[in-house]
Amino acid sequence: MTKILLATESFPYGRGEKTFVLPELSRLAKEYDVTVISHADEKQIAEGWKGIKLPAGVHVVSHPRPQFAGRDKGKALFRFLTDRDGREEIRRILRDKKQRRVRLYQSLSFYAQALADQRLLQKSGLLSGDEEIVYYSFWYDYYCYSMVREKRRYPSVRIITRTHGRDLYHERVPGDRQPLRAQMERGLDGIAFACAYGRDYYDRYVRNTDFPTDRLQVCRLGTEAASRFMPAYAGGVWQLLSCSNVIPIKRVERIIDGLALIDGLSLCWTHIGDGGSLEEIKAYAREKLGKKENISFEFAGFVENAGAWYRKNQVDCFITTSATEGGCPVSIQEAMAYGVPIIGTDVGGITEMIAGNGILLSSDPDGEEVASAVCRLCSLDGEKLYRMKEKSLSLWREMFFAETCYQKIRAVLGG
């Protein structure tokens, strides 16, 4: 049986990757000998797994994210300056006059973390020349590069990486440049993207000219089938749901701005999710919506199981006003699986998710645009609204059913 080494950011520790990893992992475990290499930090490891039950036979190895003292940084700098990959990186950065210092520091840090992780790989005993191995990196990060370097000793290892947002788009990292991509491509057998927008971005702005385009594959993340088709709106109060981290790029305040302009329509808005801006957004909602008799709102915080929420609560519309998305948000997929219409911004993979099943906002909507979209959807007659709900479910079946998505990444992994 082919061995898969699944490299994750923190899974099964922490909570950030659970929704993304588990649907694939449950299927991978049936066909492969799977070992998860988690790069959780020491604090996350100490907290342990939180409500995660791994499929039978899956093993977990911890390679904590490296932390460096001053002496370690000096050694890494020497290696970087004398290594062929390091010298190439320096030349590439110096060709462009933009943010050279920041970019050099980013590449050096990335390189140093990869060297430390490579040492852990060598000590782990996970690699050998005697068995078929696929290294499947869930992120295009330093540990993917460490395996690319180690592949020079084990050339038979196949390396496939996913890439999503902060590890894909140049503008998502300091210096506006993803480090060491040309060097990594030389050892990669495939790159999987969570949306077509991401693949096209990589092909246009990141890909080295000699990396084959047929190795750039759209392999969307998926969700499991829903337990019910959401009942149609039955009159009374419209139930509006949003779900995201409460951080600036999600622009939750734009939803509030829109609701503040709506009169004559009874709405209950619930937001699922927490984050660093939660208290600020709560205060803003109280200020803008607190005196509106037709609008009620609730911040539900982090919800472990979104499916349980949809099973117990009515949802008439899902809305997001996010400024950017690396892929096709799982939160929207979950809503579509229940036959819920979508209102979303024209950014990233969201654009691919709205086609007859909702309303596509501009990439930077103001309150008036958001209010108009909500009112338009809520004014639809019963037949048109039902067709929109059916379209949401049919698009989910076509694009985001976990089994369908798994077969696509399965073909890329091979073995």
Question: What residue spans define the domains of the chain?
Answer: 3-69+115-222+403-413, 238-399
- Residue-wise pLDDT tens digits, 314-332: 999 999 999 998 889 999 9
Whether the predicted pLDDT of 377 surpasses 80: yes
Q: Which residues pair with 359 in a beta bridge?
A: 343
Q: What is the mean pLDDT of residues 164-175?
A: 94
Q: What is the mean pLDDT of residues 394-409?
A: 96
- Residue-wise pLDDT tens digits, 184-209: 999 999 999 999 999 999 999 999 98
Q: What is the mean pLDDT of residues 58-75?
A: 85
Whether the predicted pLDDT of 129 surpasses 80: no
* Alpha carbon distance 206, 3 (integer Å): 30
Q: What is the mean pLDDT of residues 62-74?
A: 82
Whether the predicted pLDDT of 70 surpasses 70: no
Distances in Å between the Cα of 381 and the Cα atoms of 92, 95, 384 are 58, 59, 6
Q: Which residues pair with 304 in a beta bridge?
A: none
- Residue-wise pLDDT tens digits, 90-123: 999 999 989 999 999 999 999 999 999 999 999 9
What SS3 string covers the chain? CCEEEEEECCCCECCCCHHHHHHHHHHHHHHCEEEEEECCCHHHHHHCECCCCCCCCCEEEECCCCCCCHHHHHHHHHHHHHCHHHHHHHHHHHHCCCCHHHHHHHHHHHHHHHHHHHHHHHHHCCCCCCCCEEEEECCCCHHHHHHHHHCCCCCCCEEEEEECCCCCCHHHCCCCCCCCHHHHHCCCCEEEECCHHHHHHHHHHCCCCCCCHHHEEECCCCECCCCCCCCCCCCCCEEEEEECCCCHHHCHHHHHHHHCCCCCCCEEEEEECCCCCHHHHHHHHHHHHCCCCCEEEEEEECCCCHHHHHHHCCCCEEECCCCCCCCCCHHHHHHHHCCCCEEEECCHHHHHHCCCCEEEECCCCCHHHHHHHHHHHHCCCHHHHHHHHHHHHHHHHHHCEHHHHHHHHHHHHCC
Query: Does residue 30 contact residue 54 with C-beta atoms inside 8 Å?
Result: no
Would you place residue 415 in the very low, low, confident or very high pLDDT band (cuts 50, 70, 90)? low
CATH class of 3-69+115-222+403-413: alpha beta
Domains 3-69+115-222+403-413 and 238-399 share a fold: yes
Whether the predicted pLDDT of 181 surpasses 90: yes
CATH number for region 238-399 = 3.40.50.2000
Would you place residue 212 in the very low, low, confident or very high pLDDT band (cuts 50, 70, 90)? very high
Give the list of residues 6+ apart from residue 56 with CB closer than 8 angstroms, or none: 29
Query: Does residue 171 contact residue 348 with C-beta atoms inside 8 Å?
Result: no
How confident is the model at residue 255, as a pLDDT? 98
How confident is the model at residue 51, as a pLDDT? 76
In percent, how much of the chain has pLDDT > 90? 86
Whether the predicted pLDDT of 305 surpasses 80: no
The overall average pLDDT reported for the chain is 94
CA angle 7, 9, 15 (to 5 degrees): 125
Query: Does residue 296 contact residue 267 with C-beta atoms inside 8 Å?
Result: yes
Give the list of residues 6+ apart from residue 96 with CB closer than 8 angstroms, or none: none
Q: Which residues pair with 149 in a beta bridge?
A: none
Whether the predicted pLDDT of 72 surpasses 80: no
How confident is the model at residue 49, as a pLDDT? 86
52 φψ region: left (φ > 0), alpha (ψ -120 to 50), beta (else):
beta
Query: Does residue 365 contact residue 321 with C-beta atoms inside 8 Å?
Result: yes
Whether the predicted pLDDT of 14 surpasses 90: no
